[in-house]
Amino acid sequence: MINFHGIGEASRPYEAGERPFWISRHEFLNVLDLVRSNSDVVDFKLTFDDGNSSDYEIAAQELRKRSLEASFFVLAGKFQQPGYLTQTQVRELAGEGFQIGSHGLNHVDWTGADDRELADELSGSKSILEEVVGRPVASAAIPFGLYDRRVLNALRRAGYRDVYSSDGSARLSKAWPTPRYSVQGGLDAGRLVETVRHGRLFDRLNNELRLRVKASLSRSIVRRMKQLGR
Protein backbone atom coordinates (compact mmCIF):
# COMPACT_ATOMS: atom_id res chain seq x y z
CA MET A 1 0.00 0.00 0.00
CA ILE A 2 1.24 3.47 -0.90
CA ASN A 3 0.17 6.43 1.22
CA PHE A 4 0.24 10.13 0.32
CA HIS A 5 -0.32 13.26 2.40
CA GLY A 6 -0.10 16.53 0.48
CA ILE A 7 0.62 17.39 -3.15
CA GLY A 8 2.16 20.68 -4.28
CA GLU A 9 2.33 23.46 -1.69
CA ALA A 10 0.01 23.67 1.29
CA SER A 11 -2.34 26.66 1.40
CA ARG A 12 -2.06 26.68 5.19
CA PRO A 13 0.82 26.60 7.69
CA TYR A 14 2.54 23.23 7.90
CA GLU A 15 2.31 21.29 11.14
CA ALA A 16 5.54 20.38 12.90
CA GLY A 17 7.30 17.64 10.95
CA GLU A 18 4.73 17.67 8.15
CA ARG A 19 6.65 19.35 5.31
CA PRO A 20 8.70 16.29 4.21
CA PHE A 21 5.48 14.40 3.49
CA TRP A 22 4.34 16.89 0.85
CA ILE A 23 5.47 15.97 -2.65
CA SER A 24 5.47 17.89 -5.91
CA ARG A 25 2.78 17.36 -8.53
CA HIS A 26 5.46 15.94 -10.84
CA GLU A 27 6.53 13.37 -8.23
CA PHE A 28 2.91 12.41 -7.63
CA LEU A 29 2.18 11.89 -11.33
CA ASN A 30 5.31 9.77 -11.72
CA VAL A 31 4.10 7.43 -8.98
CA LEU A 32 0.60 7.20 -10.47
CA ASP A 33 1.94 6.43 -13.94
CA LEU A 34 4.18 3.67 -12.61
CA VAL A 35 1.33 2.23 -10.55
CA ARG A 36 -0.93 2.27 -13.59
CA SER A 37 1.65 0.59 -15.83
CA ASN A 38 2.23 -2.17 -13.26
CA SER A 39 -1.40 -2.68 -12.25
CA ASP A 40 -1.70 -5.85 -14.34
CA VAL A 41 0.81 -7.67 -12.11
CA VAL A 42 0.42 -5.93 -8.73
CA ASP A 43 -2.75 -4.88 -6.93
CA PHE A 44 -1.53 -1.53 -5.62
CA LYS A 45 -3.65 0.18 -2.97
CA LEU A 46 -3.47 3.98 -2.77
CA THR A 47 -4.43 6.01 0.30
CA PHE A 48 -4.36 9.67 1.31
CA ASP A 49 -4.14 10.97 4.89
CA ASP A 50 -5.06 14.30 6.52
CA GLY A 51 -7.82 15.41 4.14
CA ASN A 52 -5.78 18.16 2.50
CA SER A 53 -7.47 20.20 -0.22
CA SER A 54 -4.94 18.82 -2.72
CA ASP A 55 -6.79 15.50 -2.44
CA TYR A 56 -9.70 17.08 -4.29
CA GLU A 57 -7.89 19.68 -6.39
CA ILE A 58 -5.10 17.44 -7.72
CA ALA A 59 -5.24 13.81 -6.63
CA ALA A 60 -8.84 12.95 -7.50
CA GLN A 61 -8.71 14.27 -11.06
CA GLU A 62 -5.41 12.50 -11.80
CA LEU A 63 -6.72 9.25 -10.33
CA ARG A 64 -9.82 9.50 -12.52
CA LYS A 65 -7.71 10.03 -15.65
CA ARG A 66 -5.94 6.73 -14.95
CA SER A 67 -9.00 4.82 -13.69
CA LEU A 68 -7.29 4.27 -10.33
CA GLU A 69 -9.11 3.70 -7.05
CA ALA A 70 -8.10 5.24 -3.73
CA SER A 71 -9.14 5.77 -0.13
CA PHE A 72 -9.14 9.20 1.52
CA PHE A 73 -8.72 9.38 5.29
CA VAL A 74 -10.21 12.65 6.43
CA LEU A 75 -9.85 14.81 9.53
CA ALA A 76 -13.50 15.40 10.38
CA GLY A 77 -12.70 18.28 12.72
CA LYS A 78 -10.97 20.34 10.00
CA PHE A 79 -13.83 20.82 7.54
CA GLN A 80 -14.13 24.55 8.14
CA GLN A 81 -10.40 25.26 8.11
CA PRO A 82 -8.48 26.62 5.08
CA GLY A 83 -6.39 24.08 3.22
CA TYR A 84 -8.52 21.09 4.15
CA LEU A 85 -11.33 19.27 2.36
CA THR A 86 -14.83 20.64 2.80
CA GLN A 87 -17.86 18.48 3.50
CA THR A 88 -19.09 19.11 -0.03
CA GLN A 89 -15.80 17.92 -1.52
CA VAL A 90 -15.78 14.78 0.63
CA ARG A 91 -19.35 14.05 -0.42
CA GLU A 92 -18.36 14.44 -4.08
CA LEU A 93 -15.37 12.12 -3.67
CA ALA A 94 -17.60 9.49 -2.09
CA GLY A 95 -20.16 9.93 -4.86
CA GLU A 96 -17.45 9.25 -7.46
CA GLY A 97 -16.67 5.91 -5.87
CA PHE A 98 -13.64 6.80 -3.76
CA GLN A 99 -13.55 5.30 -0.28
CA ILE A 100 -13.79 7.67 2.68
CA GLY A 101 -12.29 6.78 6.04
CA SER A 102 -11.48 8.51 9.31
CA HIS A 103 -8.17 10.03 10.36
CA GLY A 104 -9.77 11.32 13.55
CA LEU A 105 -10.93 14.84 14.34
CA ASN A 106 -7.91 17.02 15.00
CA HIS A 107 -4.77 15.07 14.03
CA VAL A 108 -3.62 14.19 17.53
CA ASP A 109 -1.56 11.29 18.84
CA TRP A 110 -4.18 8.75 19.90
CA THR A 111 -1.79 7.03 22.32
CA GLY A 112 -1.62 10.26 24.33
CA ALA A 113 -5.36 10.97 24.34
CA ASP A 114 -7.42 10.32 27.46
CA ASP A 115 -10.45 8.04 27.17
CA ARG A 116 -12.91 10.84 26.43
CA GLU A 117 -10.75 12.47 23.76
CA LEU A 118 -10.03 9.10 22.17
CA ALA A 119 -13.75 8.33 21.98
CA ASP A 120 -14.35 11.69 20.28
CA GLU A 121 -11.52 11.07 17.84
CA LEU A 122 -12.81 7.63 16.87
CA SER A 123 -16.58 7.55 17.34
CA GLY A 124 -17.12 11.29 16.91
CA SER A 125 -15.28 11.48 13.60
CA LYS A 126 -17.01 8.33 12.38
CA SER A 127 -20.46 9.79 13.06
CA ILE A 128 -19.62 13.07 11.30
CA LEU A 129 -18.25 11.33 8.22
CA GLU A 130 -21.17 8.92 8.00
CA GLU A 131 -23.56 11.86 8.02
CA VAL A 132 -21.53 13.58 5.29
CA VAL A 133 -21.24 10.62 2.91
CA GLY A 134 -24.55 8.96 3.76
CA ARG A 135 -23.15 5.49 4.33
CA PRO A 136 -21.19 3.54 6.97
CA VAL A 137 -17.54 4.44 7.52
CA ALA A 138 -15.62 1.36 8.67
CA SER A 139 -11.98 2.24 7.99
CA ALA A 140 -9.47 4.44 9.79
CA ALA A 141 -5.85 5.54 9.36
CA ILE A 142 -3.86 6.11 12.54
CA PRO A 143 -2.33 9.61 12.87
CA PHE A 144 1.49 9.58 12.89
CA GLY A 145 1.34 5.77 12.78
CA LEU A 146 1.35 5.73 16.60
CA TYR A 147 -0.76 3.09 18.31
CA ASP A 148 -0.79 0.65 21.19
CA ARG A 149 -3.07 -2.09 22.49
CA ARG A 150 -5.48 0.43 24.03
CA VAL A 151 -5.87 2.33 20.75
CA LEU A 152 -6.47 -0.83 18.73
CA ASN A 153 -9.07 -2.06 21.22
CA ALA A 154 -10.82 1.31 21.06
CA LEU A 155 -10.87 1.16 17.25
CA ARG A 156 -12.53 -2.24 17.37
CA ARG A 157 -15.14 -1.04 19.86
CA ALA A 158 -15.87 1.99 17.69
CA GLY A 159 -16.75 -0.32 14.80
CA TYR A 160 -13.76 0.05 12.50
CA ARG A 161 -13.18 -3.02 10.36
CA ASP A 162 -10.07 -1.89 8.45
CA VAL A 163 -7.28 0.05 10.15
CA TYR A 164 -4.07 1.34 8.57
CA SER A 165 -0.73 2.37 10.03
CA SER A 166 2.41 3.94 8.57
CA ASP A 167 4.72 1.07 9.46
CA GLY A 168 5.90 0.44 5.91
CA SER A 169 6.53 -2.91 4.20
CA ALA A 170 3.90 -5.45 3.24
CA ARG A 171 1.61 -7.57 5.35
CA LEU A 172 1.93 -11.34 5.15
CA SER A 173 -1.04 -12.24 7.33
CA LYS A 174 -4.32 -10.68 8.43
CA ALA A 175 -2.70 -9.00 11.43
CA TRP A 176 -4.13 -5.64 12.44
CA PRO A 177 -3.38 -2.86 11.46
CA THR A 178 -2.39 -2.91 7.78
CA PRO A 179 1.02 -1.27 7.14
CA ARG A 180 1.58 1.30 4.39
CA TYR A 181 4.53 3.02 2.72
CA SER A 182 4.27 6.79 3.31
CA VAL A 183 5.65 8.80 0.40
CA GLN A 184 8.02 11.70 1.09
CA GLY A 185 9.37 14.48 -1.11
CA GLY A 186 12.45 13.72 -3.19
CA LEU A 187 11.35 10.13 -3.68
CA ASP A 188 12.57 7.86 -6.44
CA ALA A 189 9.19 6.80 -7.84
CA GLY A 190 10.57 3.78 -9.64
CA ARG A 191 12.35 2.51 -6.54
CA LEU A 192 9.22 3.03 -4.43
CA VAL A 193 7.05 1.00 -6.80
CA GLU A 194 9.66 -1.75 -7.07
CA THR A 195 9.96 -1.89 -3.28
CA VAL A 196 6.21 -2.32 -2.91
CA ARG A 197 6.13 -4.79 -5.78
CA HIS A 198 9.12 -6.94 -4.77
CA GLY A 199 9.39 -6.41 -1.00
CA ARG A 200 12.00 -8.84 0.31
CA LEU A 201 10.65 -11.73 2.36
CA PHE A 202 12.99 -11.07 5.30
CA ASP A 203 11.91 -7.43 5.52
CA ARG A 204 8.27 -8.43 5.39
CA LEU A 205 8.67 -11.08 8.09
CA ASN A 206 10.61 -8.65 10.28
CA ASN A 207 7.93 -5.99 9.87
CA GLU A 208 5.19 -8.51 10.65
CA LEU A 209 6.89 -9.39 13.93
CA ARG A 210 7.33 -5.70 14.77
CA LEU A 211 3.63 -5.04 14.14
CA ARG A 212 2.57 -7.86 16.43
CA VAL A 213 4.84 -6.67 19.24
CA LYS A 214 3.76 -3.04 18.83
CA ALA A 215 0.07 -3.96 18.90
CA SER A 216 0.55 -5.70 22.25
CA LEU A 217 2.36 -2.83 23.95
CA SER A 218 0.74 -0.74 26.65
CA ARG A 219 0.42 3.04 26.35
CA SER A 220 3.16 3.71 28.92
CA ILE A 221 5.67 1.55 27.06
CA VAL A 222 4.88 3.22 23.73
CA ARG A 223 5.36 6.66 25.28
CA ARG A 224 8.71 5.60 26.73
CA MET A 225 9.84 4.29 23.34
CA LYS A 226 8.85 7.61 21.75
CA GLN A 227 10.91 9.49 24.33
CA LEU A 228 13.90 7.31 23.53
CA GLY A 229 13.43 7.92 19.82
CA ARG A 230 12.69 4.28 19.01
Where is mean pLDDT largest: 33-47, 60-74, 188-202?
Answer: 60-74
Other C-beta atoms lying within 10 Å of the C-beta of residue 199:
17
- The region of weakest confidence among 68-82, 150-164, 180-194 is 180-194
Q: Could you report the per-residue pLDDT of 89-123, keeping only the tens digit for each?
A: 999 999 999 999 999 999 999 999 999 999 999 99
CATH number at residue 175: 3.20.20.370
Burial-class residue 82 by CB neighbours within 10 Å (0-12, 13-18, 19+): exposed
End-to-end Cα distance, the chain:
23
pTM of the shown model = 0.85
Mean of the per-residue pLDDT values of the chain = 88
Amino acid at 190: G
Q: Is pLDDT at 201 greater than 50 in this prediction?
A: no
Q: Which domain holds residue 84?
A: 2-227
In the chain, the number of structural domains is 1
